[in-house]
Amino acid sequence: MKFLDLAKVYIRSGAGGGGCVSFRREKYVQYGGPDGGDGGRGGDVVVEAVEGLNTLIDFRYQQHFFAKNGQPGMGRQRSGKDGDPIVLRVPVGTEILDEDEETIIADLTEVGQKVILAQGGNGGFGNLHFKSATNQAPRRSNPGQEAVERTIWLRLKLIADVGLLGLPNAGKSTFLAATSNARPKVADYPFTTLVPNLGVVGVDEVEFVVADIPGLIEGAHEGRGIGDRFLGHVERCAVLLHLVDGTSADVAGDYKTIITELEMYGGGLAEKARVTVLNKIDALTEEERAEKCAALAEAVGAPIMEMSGVAKQGTVDVLRVLRDQIDADRLRQKPAQEEKPWSPS
């Protein structure tokens, strides 16, 4: 399935049906009087967050969504049928933006959340509605309200507990593959990861979700490389895991590059809780390892951790530190594995 996290959509609610001008006509009934019914209400345009979706790819192939119009009123005091609403089903974590791509209309962060984006028009009154003691045969009715048209943007921000940060080839996808059932593409060239990946990791009987985004490079906020368009997927995370490539010639410089991009992006990412890890320590000698740990710790201004995603060395310790940074209400208990009944071989 292709990944899409931004889509432009055109919506229109249903127009209300017009009222009816009608008079009762029956044999042997004199002065039948007005009996025109009201028009039906137009359908709403609704957006709903549902389970089972993690991309907006459906909105690439259909961008126009129109609700049904209300039917006009009829004689014999019959009201028109209401128009059917139309529901846009989106993944959890989707933001609804106005046409300017800045004004947030709604933010759907829970399954089942619904928002009316365009209300259907009310139906018009038939002439029966205008009957009075002084006007017993009105010949007027109201038209239904017009439909509401608008253009909106859908922007997906994945719901995850931990976000992975680092330069290209820092080992983010390798860490995700080593600690979860996710199978992101792993290769020895930059920008192997082109779209975000999610994986569920478990440690000490609890589970949490980790999001891996494409690597950042210097100037990403100006559009270099893939740019910072995927940083929105880690805005909702409780903690960030910053991986620094231990085989790099300048680990301190690599760390500062990512921090600068976070500060330029804004959104509070630079102030979010962060765990810094020196990765790929299996490829270093003891002397190189000690030297680079000291340089990175000085740049961070706090103790750092060491890990090798390929060798799965230190990964459990990193997961435990991440778990301690996540609120208890966001953690999930690991499902207990059913024990198979013993049978003689």
Known binding residue 193? Answer is yes
Neighbours of 267 (CB within 10 A): 12
Q: Which residue has the higher pLDDT, 121 or 29?
A: 121
Extended beta strands in the chain, E state: 6-12, 45-50, 64-66, 86-91, 94-97, 104-108, 114-118, 149-156, 162-165, 197-203, 206-212, 239-245, 274-279, 305-306, 332-333
pLDDT score recorded for residue 216 = 81
Distance between terminal CA atoms of the chain?
43
Known binding residue 282? Answer is yes
Last residue of a domain, one of 156, 186, 207: 156
- 253 and 129 both lie in a single domain: no
How far apart are the C-alpha atoms of 196 and 230, rounded to whole Å?
7
* 96 strand-pairing partners: 106, 154
Say if 255 falls within a structural domain: yes
Known binding residue 208? Answer is no
Known binding residue 215? Answer is yes
Known binding residue 38? Answer is no
Span 46-61, average pLDDT: 91
Say if 338 falls within a structural domain: no
The residue type found at 32 is G
Known binding residue 308? Answer is yes
Span 118-142, average pLDDT: 93
The predicted-structure confidence for 149-197, as pLDDT tens digits, reads as follows 999 999 998 888 999 998 888 888 889 988 888 777 676 656 666 678 8
Known binding residue 226? Answer is no
Instruction: Kindly list the distances between the CA atom of residue 131 and the CA atoms of 18, 22, 35, 135, 340, in Å, as whole numbers in the listed order.
Output: 17, 12, 9, 6, 78
Known binding residue 8? Answer is no
Span 273-291, average pLDDT: 92
Say if 344 falls within a structural domain: no
Last residue of a domain, one of 125, 156, 187: 156
Span 18-33, average pLDDT: 87
Known binding residue 82? Answer is no
Known binding residue 191? Answer is yes
Known binding residue 212? Answer is yes
Q: Which helix (H) or strand (E) holds 324?
A: helix 315-325
Say if 342 falls within a structural domain: no
Q: Is the pLDDT of residue 336 over 60?
A: no
Known binding residue 135? Answer is no
Any idea what the CATH number is for the domain that residue 185 is in?
3.40.50.300
Q: Is the pLDDT of residue 287 over 70?
A: yes
Say if 341 falls within a structural domain: no
- 173 and 241 both lie in a single domain: yes
Span 65-83, average pLDDT: 95
- 146 and 268 both lie in a single domain: no
Last residue of a domain, one of 113, 131, 156: 156
Known binding residue 85? Answer is no
Span 276-289, average pLDDT: 92
Known binding residue 180? Answer is no
- 140 and 243 both lie in a single domain: no
Q: How many domains does the chain contain in total?
A: 2
Query: What percentage of the chain reaches a pLDDT higher than 70?
Result: 90
Q: Is the pLDDT of residue 345 over 50?
A: no
Known binding residue 168? Answer is yes
Adjacency order of strands within the sheet including 86-91: 86-91, 45-50, 114-118
Say if 150 falls within a structural domain: yes
Q: What is the chain's mean pLDDT, rounded?
A: 87
pLDDT score recorded for residue 97 = 95
Known binding residue 179? Answer is no
- 286 and 211 both lie in a single domain: yes
Which band of pLDDT confidence, cut at 50, 70 and 90, is reported for residue 221? low
- Both structure tokens of 313: 């060395």
- 73 and 91 both lie in a single domain: yes
Whole domain around residue 166: which residue ranges?
A: 162-333
Known binding residue 170? Answer is yes
- 48 and 132 both lie in a single domain: yes
Known binding residue 214? Answer is yes
What is the pTM assigned to this prediction?
0.79
Q: Is 285 helix (H, G, I), strand (E, B) or coil?
A: coil
Any idea what the CATH number is for the domain that residue 19 is in?
2.70.210.12
Known binding residue 345? Answer is no
- 147 and 176 both lie in a single domain: no
